[in-house]
Amino acid sequence: MNDNNEEIFLCAICNVESGTCNEDCKFCTQSVRYKADIQRYTLKSIEQIVLEAAKARANGAVGFCLVTAGLGLTEKKTKFIAQAARAINKENLGLRLIACNGTATVEQLKELKAAGISNYNHNLETSRDFYPTICTTHSWDERYQTCLNVKEAGLKLVCGGIFGMGETQEDRISMLEAINSLDPMNVPLNFFHPNEALPIVKNTINREEAFDLITLARKMIPNAHKIMVAGGRELMFGDEQYEIFKRGANAFVIGDYLTTTGRTPKDDVDALESYGYKIAKNFHVMPDEK
């Protein structure tokens, strides 16, 4: 558990392309099927992405994640994310770049790595058995294979999931076991954020269960450099959200998420400092990256 001496890592998200996905994931407002009231747009300009990266760094982020809607990488998206990565790195901001663009081949991932992407985020979302109840347009096995592709391409894997979609505790344990089998560098834990447009109507876990799941993830995935709390943090934990660091987390997302708003980065940073936490100023080079 975090004793206030361990650094807290902050990450920011850039929603490069929003609300254009044709998949049927029942937890996701990005799907066009559910007609959620969100911003929908195709690829942002490179200039806008670079501005957001600089702002994220100024707000204390050490990681910056480029996210696109849709099943996976296409030739066009691969080239665009690579172009964005090169433009950001040219600014020497000191950010570790993460891509989160769905299913991907080894070749596509190698192209991103060559452009300066360090990590690739692809979540398993839930257990293999429960997955067909939340998504029918692609399989859990496809997600797992992409994670294997990330490793083969030489990128660091970021892999997590979502809690509170109606899954059982056995499903949660099964997902964490699968994530651990992939030996990811970072594990983002999301907590379902209800939206009236979605087929899943409510979050099925309470706050204490959510805290316990963070602790369980830290225990079951001991080699992960970061256990990160991402989507749903504010709604799930409310005025106790900074207790996550006493339960095993050492990272979280600042600013807005993909289609929901978060606290202001300043509010988060001020709160962390008031509790005596040390905020990481730089990402850490892993032993096999030296």
- Is the pLDDT confidence value at 186 over 90? yes
Please compute Rg for the chain using Cα positions: 17
Cβ-Cβ contacts under 8 Å for 239 (sequence gap 6 or more): none
Grade residue 217 by pLDDT with cuts at 50, 70 and 90: very high
Least confident of 23-27, 61-65, 244-248: 23-27
- Is the pLDDT confidence value at 3 over 90? no
Instruction: Give pLDDT, residue 287.
Output: 47
Would you tell me how many other CB atoms lie within 10 Å of the CB of residue 141? 10
Give the tens place of pLDDT for each residue, 127-170. 999 999 999 999 999 999 999 999 999 999 999 999 999 999 99
Grade residue 37 by pLDDT with cuts at 50, 70 and 90: low
CA-closest candidate to residue 67, choices 54, 57, 52: 52
Instruction: Give pLDDT, residue 196.
Output: 75
What global pTM score does this model have?
0.93
Selection from 156-165, 195-204, 270-279 with the highest mean pLDDT: 156-165
Instruction: Give pLDDT, residue 264.
Output: 79
In whole angstroms, give the CA distance from residue 178 to residue 50.
Answer: 35
User: Looking at this protein, which amino acid is placed at residue 143?
Assistant: R
Instruction: Give pLDDT, residue 286.
Output: 52
SS3 content of the chain, % helix, strand, coil (to 5): 35, 20, 45
Instruction: Name the average pLDDT for the chain.
Output: 89
Establish whether 25 is an annotated binding residue: yes
Phi-psi region of 266 (alpha: psi -120 to 50; beta: other; left: phi over 0): alpha
- Of 259 and 106, the structure prediction assigns the larger pLDDT to 106
In whole angstroms, give the CA distance from residue 251 to residue 279.
Answer: 9
Instruction: Give pLDDT, residue 25.
Output: 78
Establish whether 147 is an annotated binding residue: no
Instruction: Give pLDDT, residue 194.
Output: 75
- Is the pLDDT confidence value at 282 over 90? no
- Is the pLDDT confidence value at 39 over 80? no
